[in-house]
Amino acid sequence: MAHQSSTLTTSLTRQGQSNSAGDARALYLKLFSGEMFKGFEYNAIARDLVTKRTLTNGKSMQFIYTGRTTAEYHTPGNAILGNSDGAPPVAEKTVTVDDLLISSAFVYDLDETLAHYDLRSEISRKIGYALAEKYDRLIFRTIARGARAASPITKTNFKEPGGTQIRVGTGNATEAYDSDKLVAAFYDAAAAMDEKGVSTEGRVGVLNPRQYYELIQKVGDSGLINRDEQGTARQRGQGVVEIAGIKIFKSMNIPFFSQYGTKFGTASATNPGVAAPTNTGDFVSPAVEDAANDVAGINNEYGEETEFANSCGLIFQREAAACVEAIGPQVQVTSGDVSVIYQGDVILGRLAMGADYLNPAACVELIAGAATGSTGNAAF
């Protein structure tokens, strides 16, 4: 009896292929890119709260600042050729791109094979977090600088408003966590921006997590909480809809008594005096970088640690700061011969950006702990 040979064909599912064809790893880089972008966008809040521009073919971008114009009566028979006082006055602000900001990791092929979890996806998120953290910190520092700056308009006989500092309480650093005094400071900030002609559209406040949670615990019955947002909505940092028309965010990246986000220790003129919770381990709350440590790659002025000694929150409008991006968040991964030689891939996240304050009148810095009657933090 004759036997016929048969061929068993197996169809493999290659999750890295695009439409089940071509390079078996074609989609892996895209997957990694998506994880990195999600990590960046989830953590970076400042990017969408200020004026952002994309820079091409240059190292800096010019922003035009226009002052107020005036009204005058017309004299019959005179030609109308513009206001006699030359209004409105115009000034410029130039923002330079800092050097390339990167975060990278080397993934060894064998480690990736042995890992029981998606190693690249986990690394991608952490890279996105790292870039977002630096991005926000630089922008928030520029807003604090703007709150202490005069208007860029210096034309004779013209007066334009500068930045604003609002004291929380009466001079004790501990009042930085007092919800009633924080609410009062928000109303003072709103009034100050109204008086300076700053648009009500796009006004936001950024507090550290402990300040934010103090607000939603203590003022929930005062109409500040959005009754339509239930469950975890308010806990994510956007549950307090507004105080005086100012939407509130929380962030660990604002300057807070010369550190980022939180500061524990004994109460003093530069410390709110909150003890670290029991047995919680180490906290990621580094000091604001000094220029001496931060000079490499930095082409803009972001201030130094000691200059944020009494900072405890920011309130601003979209025109407060300008951010220029030459390279938006991107992902690069080695491949080919390089991967063969090193038996793994270098995964790199990168961006190139720079920031500076734009309209000081739109910048408000909350301060606490400075002596009553003082002018608060010194001008930069």
pLDDT in tens, 272-315: 988 877 766 666 677 887 765 556 788 899 988 889 999 999 99
Distance CA 19, CA 102 (A): 32
pLDDT value for 5: 47
* % helix, strand, coil for the chain, step of 5: 30, 25, 45
User: What contacts 24+ positions apart, CB below 8 Å, involve 282-285?
Assistant: 284/252, 285/252, 285/259, 285/260, 285/261
Share of the chain above pLDDT 90, in %: 37
Confidence of residue 65 (pLDDT cuts 50, 70, 90): confident
pLDDT value for 365: 97
Position with higher pLDDT, 111 vs 149: 149
Is residue 225 a contact partner of residue 241, using CB atoms and an 8 Å limit? yes
pLDDT value for 220: 57
Going 80 to 82 to 83 to 84, the CA torsion angle's sign is negative
Give the mean pLDDT of 110-131: 77
Whether the predicted pLDDT of 8 surpasses 50 = no
Whether the predicted pLDDT of 27 surpasses 70 = no
Give the other-Cβ count within 10 Å of 219's Cβ: 17
Confidence of residue 233 (pLDDT cuts 50, 70, 90): very low
Peptide bond into 329 cis (omega under 30): no
User: Token pair 């991608």 is at which residue?
Assistant: 124
Nearest CA to 32 out of 123, 163, 164, 144 is that of 123
Position with higher pLDDT, 372 vs 168: 168
Whether the predicted pLDDT of 11 surpasses 50 = no
Give the mean pLDDT of 33-51: 81
Whether the predicted pLDDT of 159 surpasses 90 = no
Give the other-Cβ count within 10 Å of 197's Cβ: 11
Distance CA 276, CA 299 (A): 36
What radius of gyration do the chain's Cα atoms show? 26
Going 234 to 235 to 238 to 240, the CA torsion angle's sign is positive
Sequence-distant (≥ 6) Cβ neighbours of residue 195 within 8 angstroms: 161
**Helical (H) or strand (E) element with 346:** strand 344-357
282 is written with which tokens? Answer: 């180490």
pLDDT value for 156: 80
3-state secondary structure of 189: helix
**Structure letter (DSSP) for residue 287:** B
- On average, the pLDDT of the chain sits at 81
pLDDT in tens, 237-279: 554 668 899 999 999 999 999 999 888 888 999 999 888 777 6
Is residue 317 a contact partner of residue 245, using CB atoms and an 8 Å limit? no
Give the mean pLDDT of 322-329: 92
Nearest CA to 32 out of 47, 19, 16, 18 is that of 16
Distance CA 19, CA 152 (A): 56
Position with higher pLDDT, 147 vs 75: 147
Whether the predicted pLDDT of 221 surpasses 80 = no
Nearest CA to 124 out of 326, 271, 332 is that of 332
3-state secondary structure of 219: coil
220 is written with which tokens? Answer: 């929930």
For the chain, the domains span 28-67+87-367
pLDDT value for 337: 80
pLDDT value for 293: 55
310 is written with which tokens? Answer: 């009494």
Is residue 321 a contact partner of residue 110, using CB atoms and an 8 Å limit? no
User: Token pair 């891939």 is at which residue?
Assistant: 345
Sequence-distant (≥ 6) Cβ neighbours of residue 293 within 8 angstroms: none
Phi, psi of 145 (to 5 degrees): -65, -40
Share of the chain above pLDDT 70, in %: 78
Helices (H), 25-108: 28-43
Whether the predicted pLDDT of 51 surpasses 70 = yes
pLDDT value for 360: 94
pLDDT value for 226: 53
**Helical (H) or strand (E) element with 292:** helix 291-294
Whether the predicted pLDDT of 30 surpasses 80 = no
Distance CA 356, CA 363 (A): 12
The gap between the terminal CA atoms of the chain, to the nearest Å, is 98
